[in-house]
């Protein structure tokens, strides 16, 4: 799964995913995985225990002091923490209560507001309210059948003139990939233009673990 499809955790993740999919539950397996890891990040395939390198590089080029930032599907919290260290007022949420518990344990003195929440069931008051949104590998962790809903949920959270950063695996075909992860296509990303998003920059990324997979950090600005 994710950046480590080739490691021995893959089978465990695939089994968990297929168990949950039998009841059309696309997200329940995340909490089971975090809980069963019992604090060992080696049991979380996507855990890096450091911010994403593309986010680190991007942050060298911008000023985000006092920006209202949101991290979607924050996992173990490293990306949220670097945004807070750079001066943003950060809210970070994840659907898995065990991941949020883990973040709070790792960063007890953090200024980040860590919350358990479902991207698809956020309070309407969150809409159009963030200056900066960071989403890393959450879209691709959810199946294609709910992709349009997921992208819409993300798109409506940003203020006009705000910045959205997406880190994702990319796929070139319309065909449904064998996942998870389910890499994102250009056609799916183009849905963002319906909400006033314009692509500003795209930085390709090669993971040392998965050199053959196309990945990128994509920066968007919302124009309306």
**Eight-state DSSP code of residue 124:** G
Applying CB under 6 A, among 81, 82, 90, 94 the residue interacting with ligand SAM is 94
Residue ranges in 192-211 that form contacts with ligand SAM under rule CB under 6 A: none
Residue 30, Cβ neighbours under 10 Å: how many? 24
Q: Is the preceding omega at residue 181 within 30 degrees of 0, hence cis?
A: yes
Maximum Cα–Cα distance across the chain: 45
Applying CB under 6 A, among 80, 138, 168, 185 the residue interacting with ligand SAM is 138
Residues 6+ apart with CB under 8 A from 114: 74, 77, 80, 92, 93, 100, 103, 104
Stretch that binds ligand SAM, among 4-12, 60-68, 70-78, 156-164 (CB under 6 A): 70-78
- Say whether residue 27 binds ligand SAM (CB under 6 A): yes
Shortest Cβ distance from residue 224 to ligand SAM (Å)? 25
Stretch that binds ligand SAM, among 35-43, 103-111, 135-143, 198-206 (CB under 6 A): 135-143
Cα–Cα distance between 96 and 75 in angstroms, integer? 8
Q: How big is the site for ligand SAM, counted in residues (CB under 6 A)?
A: 20
Site residues for ligand SAM per CB under 6 A: 2, 27, 30, 46, 73-75, 93-96, 99, 118-120, 136-138, 141-142
């Amino acid at each position: 799964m994710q950046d480590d499809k080739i490691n021995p955790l893959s089978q465990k993740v695939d089994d968990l995913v297929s168990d949950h999919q039998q009841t059309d539950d696309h997200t329940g397996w995340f909490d089971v995985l975090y809980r069963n890891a019992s604090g060992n990040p080696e049991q979380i395939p996507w855990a890096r225990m450091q911010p994403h390198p593309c986010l680190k590089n991007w942050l060298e080029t911008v000023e985000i002091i006092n920006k209202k930032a949101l991290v979607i599907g924050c996992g173990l919290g490293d990306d949220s923490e670097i945004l807070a260290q750079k001066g943003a007022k950060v809210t970070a949420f994840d659907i898995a209560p065990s991941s949020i518990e883990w973040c709070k344990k790792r960063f007890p003195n953090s200024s980040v507001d860590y919350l358990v929440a479902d991207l698809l069931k956020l309070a309407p008051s969150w809409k159009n309210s963030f200056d900066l949104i960071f989403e890393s590998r959450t879209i691709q962790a959810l199946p294609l059948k709910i992709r349009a809903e997921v992208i819409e949920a993300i798109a409506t959270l940003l203020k006009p003139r705000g910045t959205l950063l997406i880190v994702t695996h990319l796929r070139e075909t319309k065909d449904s990939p064998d996942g998870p992860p389910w890499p994102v296509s250009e056609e799916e990303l183009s849905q963002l233009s319906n909400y006033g998003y314009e692509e500003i920059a795209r930085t390709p990324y090669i993971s040392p673990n998965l050199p053959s997979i196309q990945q990128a950090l994509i920066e968007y600005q919302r124009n309306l």
